[in-house]
Amino acid sequence: MPGWPEALHALLVEAGVKQVAYVPDAGHKRLIELAHADPGLKATVLTTEEEGVALLAGAYLGGERGVLLLQSSGVGNCINMLSLAAECRVPLLMLVTMRGEWGEFNPWQVAMGQATPAVLEAMGTIVLRADEPERIVETVRAGSVLAFDSARMVAVLIGQRAIGAKVFRR
């Protein structure tokens, strides 16, 4: 039985996704590896998360679907660029691995981790959440249909319980 990253990769391909934009993140590590290994996907590493909003808006205008992989701390970087997708009704599917929650060791992650849902909603994003690994794929499936069929911004928040809390060892 494949893990959720493998099932999620298959789902994204089935949904017609052709572009995967991301900032490196341990929570998305396996999905990023699968995207790079898939000749049908163009995986683009970003220097900052808001570049992904613009990249995927361009992909949409060129007739391709895409997904933005980011961490909750990167949501704050996207706030101004989300107005592009909102005003132009660009379908934007974001998969957000959460930090600053259950088992967090890094106090710098807490503020944005706690604010992420409200920040996204304030920008007009529909927010869905998966806190158990077995719920991730079905939640992303629902989010992809919503984003691509209604030309909306949708963020699926993948909770820290689902991906596991990072551990810092001294």
Asked whether residue 19 is assigned to any structural domain, the reply reads yes
Q: Which helix (H) or strand (E) holds 93?
A: strand 92-97
Once rounded to an integer, what is the mean pLDDT over residues 47-51?
96
Task: Note the pLDDT of residue 106.
Answer: 82
- Paired sense of beta strands 153-158 and 126-130, if any: parallel
Residue span of the structural domain in which 9 resides: 1-43
Once rounded to an integer, what is the mean pLDDT over residues 132-138?
94
Task: Note the pLDDT of residue 78.
Answer: 95
CA 84 to chain centre: 17
Asked whether residue 116 is assigned to any structural domain, the reply reads no
CA distance 40 to 144: 18
Span 73-127, pLDDT tens digits: 999 999 999 999 999 999 999 999 998 888 778 888 888 989 999 999 999 999 9
Please count the structural domains in the chain: 1
CA 82 to chain centre: 13
> Residue 160 burial (CB < 10 Å; 0-12/13-18/19+)?
buried
Neighbours of 134 (CB within 10 A): 10
Once rounded to an integer, what is the mean pLDDT over residues 3-30?
95
Q: What is the pLDDT confidence band of residue 155, given thresholds at 50, 70 and 90?
A: very high
Asked whether residue 20 is assigned to any structural domain, the reply reads yes
The dihedrals phi and psi of 69, each to the nearest 5 degrees, come to -100, 125
Asked whether residue 6 is assigned to any structural domain, the reply reads yes
CA distance 76 to 81: 10
pLDDT at 164 over 80: no
- Mean of all residue pLDDT scores within the chain: 93
Asked whether residue 35 is assigned to any structural domain, the reply reads yes
pLDDT at 37 over 90: yes
Asked whether residue 56 is assigned to any structural domain, the reply reads no
Contact 91, 152 (CB under 8 A): yes
In terms of pLDDT, which residue wins out, 72 or 164?
72
Once rounded to an integer, what is the mean pLDDT over residues 160-165?
81
Task: Note the pLDDT of residue 2.
Answer: 61
β-strand partners of 154: 93, 126
Provide the whole-model pTM.
0.94
pLDDT at 169 over 70: no
Instruction: Specify the DSSP class assigned to residue 2.
Output: -
Task: Note the pLDDT of residue 1.
Answer: 43
In angstroms, the first-to-last Cα distance of the chain is 35
Asked whether residue 121 is assigned to any structural domain, the reply reads no
Once rounded to an integer, what is the mean pLDDT over residues 9-33?
96
pLDDT at 168 over 80: no
Asked whether residue 99 is assigned to any structural domain, the reply reads no
CA 8 to chain centre: 12
